[in-house]
A = this chain, B = another copy of it.
Amino acid sequence: MPKDKPLDYQSEPSRDDLQLIVRKDMPFNAEPELPNLVQHYLTPTKYFFCRSHGPLPQLNDDHTISIKGIGLASEFVVSVKQLKSDFKEKTIEMAMQCAGNRRDGLHKVKFTKGVIWGPGAIGNASYTGCLLKDVLASIGIDKKLENISSLHLAFQSVEQCEEDRCYGSSIPLSKALDECGDVLLAYKMNGEPLTRDHGAPIRVVVPGYIGARSVKFLKSMTIQDFESESYFQRKDYKVLPNEVETEQQAADYWHKVASIGEYNVQSYVCDPPDGMVKNYGGPIKVRGYALSGGGRGIQRVEVSGDDGITWTLAHFRQQPKCDTHTTNVWAWSLWEADIHVKRNTRIVCRALDSANNIQHEHPMWNYRGVMNNSWRTFDSEKRENSNL
Evaluate contact between B260 and A356: CB separation under 8 angstroms: yes
Query: A229–B243 Cα gap in the complex (Å)?
Result: 50
Q: List 11 A-B contacts (CB under 8 A).
A: A148-B326, A150-B324, A174-B327, A239-B299, A258-B299, A261-B354, A262-B296, A262-B354, A262-B356, A263-B356, A293-B355
Segment among A332-340, A357-365, A376-384 that sits at the interface with chain B:
A357-365
Shortest distance between the CB of A175 and any CB in chain B (Å): 8
Shortest distance between the CB of A222 and any CB in chain B (Å): 19
Q: Evaluate whether A356 and B239 lie within 8 angstroms (CB atoms) in the complex, with A147-B324, A148-B325, A174-B327 already known.
A: yes
Residue of B nearest to A146 (CB): B324
Query: A241–B314 Cα gap in the complex (Å)?
Result: 11
Evaluate contact between A362 and B361: CB separation under 8 angstroms: yes
Query: A311–B180 Cα gap in the complex (Å)?
Result: 38
Shortest distance between the CB of A20 and any CB in chain B (Å): 26
Among B239, B311, B324, which residue has its beta carbon within 8 angstroms of that of A242? B311
Query: A323–B358 Cα gap in the complex (Å)?
Result: 29
- A residues contacting B by CB (< 8 A) are 143, 146-150, 172, 174, 179-180, 239, 241-243, 257-258, 260-265, 293-294, 296, 299-300, 302, 308, 311, 313, 322-327, 352, 354-362, 364, 371, 373
A143 neighbours in B (Cβ, 8 Å) = 179
Residue of B nearest to A362 (CB): B361
Q: Evaluate whether A327 and B357 lie within 8 angstroms (CB atoms) in the complex, with A241-B300, A313-B241 already known.
A: no
- Please classify the interface of chain A as helix (H, G, I), strand (E, B), loop, or mixed, using the class held by over half of its residues: loop
Residue of B nearest to A143 (CB): B179
Shortest distance between the CB of A321 and any CB in chain B (Å): 11
Evaluate contact between A149 and B311: CB separation under 8 angstroms: no
Residue of B nearest to A310 (CB): B242
A264 neighbours in B (Cβ, 8 Å) = 355-358
Max chain B C-beta neighbours (<10 A), residue from A150, A261, A262, A322: A262
Query: A127–B360 Cα gap in the complex (Å)?
Result: 34
Q: Which 4 A-B pairs have the closest CB atoms?
A: A360-B360, A262-B355, A357-B357, A264-B356
Shortest distance between the CB of A350 and any CB in chain B (Å): 9
Query: A239–B373 Cα gap in the complex (Å)?
Result: 21
Evaluate contact between A364 and B354: CB separation under 8 angstroms: no
Query: A349–B222 Cα gap in the complex (Å)?
Result: 39
Shortest distance between the CB of A149 and any CB in chain B (Å): 5
Evaluate contact between B257 and A299: CB separation under 8 angstroms: yes
